[in-house]
Amino acid sequence: MHFLTTFFHLKILHFIRKMSGGPVLRNSKWKKGHESKNKTPRANHFFAVQISDCQIVEAVHNVHRTILEQEPELSSALVSPSTLHITLAVAHLSSPEDLVRANQVLEETVRVFSTSRPQTQQLDLHLAQVGHFNNKVIYASVKEESEGTEHLIHLSKSLRERCQTAGLTLIDGDRFTPHVTLLKLSKDPSLNRKGIKAVASHLYEKHVDCVFGRQVVESVQLLSMTDPKDEKGYFAVKGEFHFGTAAAAAADEIRTAARLDQRRCSTTKLPC
């Protein structure tokens, strides 16, 4: 009954204004409010661990080259090797206060995670094999059976739980599949208009069993999706917290050794 009364009221106002030459009332305000209420907030930040090992980066280059040799149109869908990462959670932060809370959550998560493990224990991730999500996203898999993967899953779960407790808006649900994205069709919507709706498996089949390499994780980052990337092409870092000092020192040694051995990464023919 209330709906009918409102409806006829609007019709009468509409008729009066039309007859008097005044502006016609429309219910666009209600529609706008109705739509915004059901609209999912857009993701603008995410928590991640950076993938920077030179052997992994070179292996990714190899996979990209193989794909482009067969399908150059996919160049716009490739994920730049300078931005390689493993996403732990995706969020919508709507204010500076949200950003502060997100950093507080990240700091607490990393602190608790560090104290629950021996300080000398590193978080090692081993990347091997190429997988896909519905043939629209191609990724390097993180080996499930490795101890580092178990710790990473636990880290992601703890981070998500603390975000929810802090009232932060997470976008990507609860499911977490550790992976490093290599190609994503959604990066270029024009591909769909060109008829490219999936990535054929034969484009990367020679790399399916690729052993990408090992990444020693030393920190977790809060990254922006919307801010300009840094001079190296990586995401704008809005927060970063490192694991225990001993583990960080060990990771520094490995990173230094990797820099000294950079020539090996760029010249040695990798198994994939």
pLDDT (tens digit per residue) in 108-143: 999 999 988 765 567 899 999 999 999 999 999 999
pLDDT for the residue numbered 121:
63
pLDDT for 175 equals 81
Residue 30 confidence class, pLDDT cut points 50, 70, 90: very low
Q: Is the pLDDT of residue 16 over 80?
A: no
- Is pTM beyond 0.85? Reply is no
Nearest in space to 43 (alpha carbons), one of 78, 89, 100, 86: 89
If pLDDT is split at 50, 70 and 90, which confidence band does 173 have?
confident
Report residue 146's pLDDT band, with 50, 70 and 90 as the boundaries: confident
What confidence tens digit (pLDDT) does each residue in 213-266 have?
Answer: 999 999 999 999 999 999 999 999 999 999 876 455 545 555 555 554 554 454
Mean pLDDT for the stretch of residues 165-173: 92
Q: Supply the pLDDT for residue 8.
A: 44
CA distance 238 to 98: 12
**pLDDT averaged over the chain?**
82
